[in-house]
Amino acid sequence: MPRGAGGHNRPLNNKGLMVTKERGVLIVFEGIDGTGKSTQISLLEKFLRQGGWQVSATREPTAGYFGQRIRDLYRNRHNVTPEEECELFLSDRREHVDKCINPALASGKIVLCDRYFLSTAAYQGAAGLDPQMIIERNQFAPEPDLAFIFEISAEESIRRITHSRGEQPNDFEQLDSLKEVDKLFRSFNLPYIRRIDGTQAIEQVSKQILFHTVRLLDERYGTGPQ
Ligand code: TYD
């Protein structure tokens, strides 16, 4: 595991072996809109960098060609079918995996990704597609080591978008569909999922995220950030 300049005191794992050739780890943040994912990603990124780890923080939809086309749908979702919408998210992810996620993992970085394929399974699942089929179509995408699913109610999500952010909910952020999305997120059962109660205070949530992350790094490399 390559370290940044701050990783001076932990070049070896607890078995005394150099840890330079291992794949990095992929930690993804999922949940309906307004759950606090980006705040927690920033906090975790800062914590890891201070511990000397090399981190790549990224997001979907990306800023690339397909990500831009997806953003064009925020106020025009009715212009595409659920199938077409799903294809856009898959194309965006393929590009993201090839250009960003896989290279970062190959160089041993900790990749923090704001939304990943469980978002496609939940949102495009709520739009009428089969969530299981969507997960299977994402086999090109490396499996996360940890997927945090942040849980708040759909009503709270809308409240945070309108009151805290002062925004108008877009076409992906309508109450009835968010209820469906939330239900699907709560139904997923995969070994790497950790559920986080997003109604807790930021510090409480952060503690839980750090706990799971440190445990993962410890299991993987025999040494976690201190
Ligand atoms: P969001 O995280 O809000 O991105 P940004 O803040 O950069 O605009 O994601 C945009 C919307 O896209 C959000 O409502 C969830 C939805 N989405 C899907 O429907 N499917 C997907 O696969 C992903 C990644 C996002």
Length of the chain: 226
3-state secondary structure of 33: coil
Task: Name the residue of 119, 161, 168, 179 to mutate for ligand 1: max ligand atoms within 8 A of Cβ.
Answer: 119
Task: Answer whether 54 contacts ligand 1 (Cβ < 6 A).
Answer: no
Q: Ligand 1 test: best mutation among 73, 114, 123, most atoms within 8 Å of CB?
A: 123
- Our answer on whether the CB atom of 150 is closer than 6 Å to any ligand 1 atom is no
For residue range 24-46, list pLDDT tens digits in order: 999 999 999 999 999 999 999 99
> For 41-55, how does the pLDDT look when each residue is reduced to its tens digit (9 = 90+)?
999 999 999 999 999
Q: How confident is the model at residue 21 (pLDDT cuts 50, 70, 90)?
A: low
pLDDT band with cut points at 50, 70 and 90 for residue 223: low
| 0.85 exceeded by pTM | yes
- 53-100 pLDDT, tens digit each: 999 999 999 999 999 999 999 999 999 999 999 999 999 999 999 999
